[in-house]
Amino acid sequence: MSGSEGTREISTENDSVTGLSLEQEREVILGITEDDEPQAKEGDTFYLISFRWWRTWSAFVNQNHTTSSSSSILQRPPSIDNSDLICESSPDNSTIDILDTLVEGTDYILVTEKIWNQFYEWYGGGPTLARKAIIRGSSQTELTVEVYPLRLQLHLMPRVDHSYIRMSRRETVGELHRKACEIFGLDSDQVNIWDYYGRRKHALLNDLDKTLDDVNIQTDQDILVEVIDHSGSNTTTVQVNGSLGNGPFTVLEPSRMNHSITRGSSTNNGFSRSYNSEISQFQNMSLATEKGPTSVGVSTRGSCIGQIGLLNFGNTCFMNSAIQCLVHTPEFARFFNGDFHQEINWQNPLGMEGELAMAFGELLRRLWAPGRTAFAPRAFKAKLARFAPQFGGHNQHDSQELLAFLLDGLHEDLNRVKNKPYIKSRDADGRPDEQVADEYWANHISRNDSIIVDVCQGQYKSTLICPVCDKISVTFDPFMYLSLPLQSATPRIMTVTVFSCDGSLVPATCTVTVPKLGRSRDLIQALSNVCSLKQNEKILLAEIQNHAINRFFEDPHMSLSSIKDDACLGAYKIPKLMTNNRYLLLVNRHEDPEGMWMPYGTPLVFPISNDATITRGDIQLIAHTMLSPMLKPENAAPITSSGPPSATNSSEKEYSPCKENGDSLVKLPLKLVNGNNDLIDISIGEEKTVNLSSSSMSVVLYIDWSPELVKKFEMRYLENLPEVSRNGHGPKKTRIEPLSLYTCIEAFLREEPLVPEDMWFCPQCKERRQASKKLDLWRLPEVLVIHLKRFAYSRTMKSKLETLVNFPIHDFDLTKYVANKNNNHPQIYELYALANHYGNLGSGHYTAHVKLIHENKWYNFDDNHVSAIGEDDVRSNAAYVLFYRKAKTVDAPVSSGAHSSSAQNFFFFR
């Protein structure tokens, strides 16, 4: 009885009316679920069941019957009762409307048609609430259940009439056209259908094959059904972007219109992503609930000002937290509570026809109204979804990405520049930085001039250096916010074996602590500090794999995240000043049972000059030098030698090679791989010159270890190379200190190479180069927005950094980071708001901490819950976006946003 619209009452005493035990009932439903879920497809019907009833049934079939007390045995649930899901009254009697506040997993669950039929057969009840599965998403592969179909209001003109209609987003414009004609009794050639969002003509819906989703129709929006005469012209006086009243149509001048988005349409993209997942919460869509006081005057003592929360109507916490931070920015509160309409740029092609600014202004006024009654910003969400579809629906989004969109969109809607001049920026070409910076800023202001620029935009200096021709390019670019890395937050303990190429020290294992997301230069610096590196030495870092050098880490900017915990690393001390050199790699081999010489142990490295003439005897001497620290004492006898050939003019050194007859070195069984991959026996013809391959930066030299030769050396130094992270052998884990916000600033300003995908076209080389880039702060804004980059993305994983950042609440001093030395004013900021993110990427939650300046008191805005908090509670590892205001100096006049206990200082709006 899947199509039943009524209810059926049956007796449900604890004696089985299904003929099945409770265990059998459970197994039947589980079996259907396993069969149905993988086969779900577009057009399938799903059914809503009250979660209250579902919970009762689940408890019944999952109860433990081992108890002997009959009173503790749960009774069989009564008939299915969905009455708590439906509205008491509907627009008409033909459909059953469900409440708009329902949340899947809290108020209802979705089940397949087979499961509903089985429950209905067993228990009866109702009413039946069927919904269709549709395909959504940019790739048209996302299967969702349309719990809330579109609810549209049709306006018939010129005959003033209206009607409500429910339609699926997958239905076409042609079907909307047909249904409208049926409702109003019109012929199809008599009408035009218009997208009448906000009761303004936006687009003629004449592509009958497109779906309502394709043409961006939102729920609870208006549709204009326009009757046309036989000549084909419309018979109404409504103009495009006109306004519809209760009487004759009037067109208002945009600058004089008193827009109120609270009377606009609200959105509810009511989808369920799966019938067993957590789903968004939907609040009441009644337009009346969005009407409220919109004017703000002088505050009075005892009134609640700025403490209104926002209801969460389906994963909208990301939006709520961003809105609270923006509306509590004093400069924006003053601006949008004033006569901001005169600054709206209605014709800006990059803007949104002033609609975003109007919507935000109306929302801000409501949030600054007296009282504490929370409301759902549905009209604003609808406007947002219209201009930024990526924020539509009820998925969780990034609060910082929304902030970036809002600031940019508000700027374009409020840009005072009506006709942007074309200006080609010039490179610095040796001119003073101050002159170039002012020129860039003037060019920027000539095209971009708004309250957003006045308050939030700063300027930084960008320096690019070509790695080939050393061309230096300096530009000065605007910024709206700073995105700071948290790369130094978490330490990583790494174990590396250090070798000396001059034979001075035996190999030593060093364990150091480096930033988890640091770079190879951090590891090299840490090793240099612990291994007694000489002033004329440097570290050459290499990864050892299969007893050979897999790669050298010569790029200081290489990320340490590319080194796995089970990798083996070798650090080789080499002369610092050597240039034009290559590396001789001494690879150890031993004979396997089948008589094959196979690599084993750890290779050693020695730098040799490309300009030096190398003989076979020199190669023997180099091998003896590298191996001498491992020589057992009974086999060693010190001699003086000029040392192996190198590019340095170091003095003679003492070392202990193995000798034969006291005169010459024992010939080690060495074989050199030449450019043709042939093995050259180095143990004979020591005066012969070795011809090295000119194309390779490394030369492989094998040493074949016989059992007799092994006895003369301490081979344990070469045989057991530890892994980077040795479980249980590292030092005791220490408490992680909070990361300073100043450290994040310094990491942001540090010189870095451009990523390969973003290489720079050098104007001197005429080629794309991986230049190094250095940023410097030059001009700081009144309000500084700082984004902490907590979300890390790679090809294989996404993660969140839970690092506690120690950010200043007072006296955030950036003076020393400003490169413009002509600006001698202190650059000190005070924190007044921040957005927090709790949880992981998929199921996180956003809140906002806001300081009400007129009260000098902090509040936590958790959707509709607003509560006072102490200043000590502001800092946490959930801090995500920080909002700072420039502090006023002592001798400067106190602005309306200064610290004051007087509400009039801040809340008097003209």
Q: Tell me the CATH number at 232.
A: 3.10.20.90
For residue 3, the 8-state DSSP code is T
Residues 127 and 176 in one domain: no
Give the DSSP H or E segment for 606.
Answer: strand 604-609
Q: Per the domain annotation, does 16 fall within a domain?
A: no
Residues 804 and 907 in one domain: yes
Residues 657 and 765 in one domain: no
The CATH number linked to 74 is 3.30.2230.10
Residues 483 and 503 in one domain: no
Last residue of a domain, one of 688, 719, 750: 719
- How would DSSP label each residue in 706-729? -HHHHTTB-THHHH-PPPSS-TTT
Would you call 845 a catalytic residue per the annotation? yes
* pLDDT number for residue 142: 63
Residues 610 and 627 in one domain: yes
Q: Per the domain annotation, does 199 fall within a domain?
A: yes
Q: Per the domain annotation, does 532 fall within a domain?
A: yes
Q: Catalytic: which of 155, 177, 317, 394? A: 317
Q: Catalytic: which of 341, 510, 765, 845? A: 845
Residues 154 and 224 in one domain: yes
Residues 124 and 154 in one domain: no
Q: Per the domain annotation, does 7 fall within a domain?
A: no
* Domains identified in the chain, total number: 4
Give the closest residue to 748 by CA, choosing from 772, 774, 785.
774
The dihedral region occupied by 822, where left means phi > 0, alpha psi between -120 and 50, and beta the remainder, is alpha
Residues 422 and 433 in one domain: yes
CB atoms under 10 Å from CB of 554, counted, come to 11
Residues 436 and 304 in one domain: yes
Q: Per the domain annotation, does 17 fall within a domain?
A: no
Residues 829 and 904 in one domain: yes
Residues 595 and 740 in one domain: no
Q: Diameter of the chain by CA atoms?
A: 120
Q: Which residues of 809-848 are buried (b: 16+ CB within 10 A; e: fewer)?
A: beebebeeebbbeeeeeebbbbbbbbbbbbeeeeebbbbb
pLDDT along the chain (910 residues), means of 10: 44 51 82 74 88 87 58 76 77 64 79 89 89 69 78 84 86 91 87 82 86 79 82 47 34 28 32 36 28 30 72 90 96 91 91 92 89 86 87 84 94 93 80 91 94 96 88 91 77 88 87 81 87 85 90 82 88 81 89 89 88 85 90 63 43 37 67 81 83 76 90 88 69 61 90 79 88 91 95 65 91 93 88 93 86 92 92 94 85 35 29
The dihedral region occupied by 351, where left means phi > 0, alpha psi between -120 and 50, and beta the remainder, is beta
Q: Per the domain annotation, does 905 fall within a domain?
A: yes
* pLDDT number for residue 27: 85
Last residue of a domain, one of 146, 175, 194: 146
Euclidean distance between CA atoms 389 and 393, whole angstroms: 8
Range of the domain at 621: 492-719
Q: Per the domain annotation, does 2 fall within a domain?
A: no
* pLDDT number for residue 613: 82
Q: Per the domain annotation, does 169 fall within a domain?
A: yes
Would you call 202 a catalytic residue per the annotation? no
Taking CA atoms, 860 is separated from 304, 321, 422, 850, in Å, by 15, 10, 45, 7
* pLDDT number for residue 437: 93
* pLDDT number for residue 291: 34
Residues 107 and 184 in one domain: no
Last residue of a domain, one of 218, 251, 284: 251
The CATH number linked to 284 is 3.90.70.10
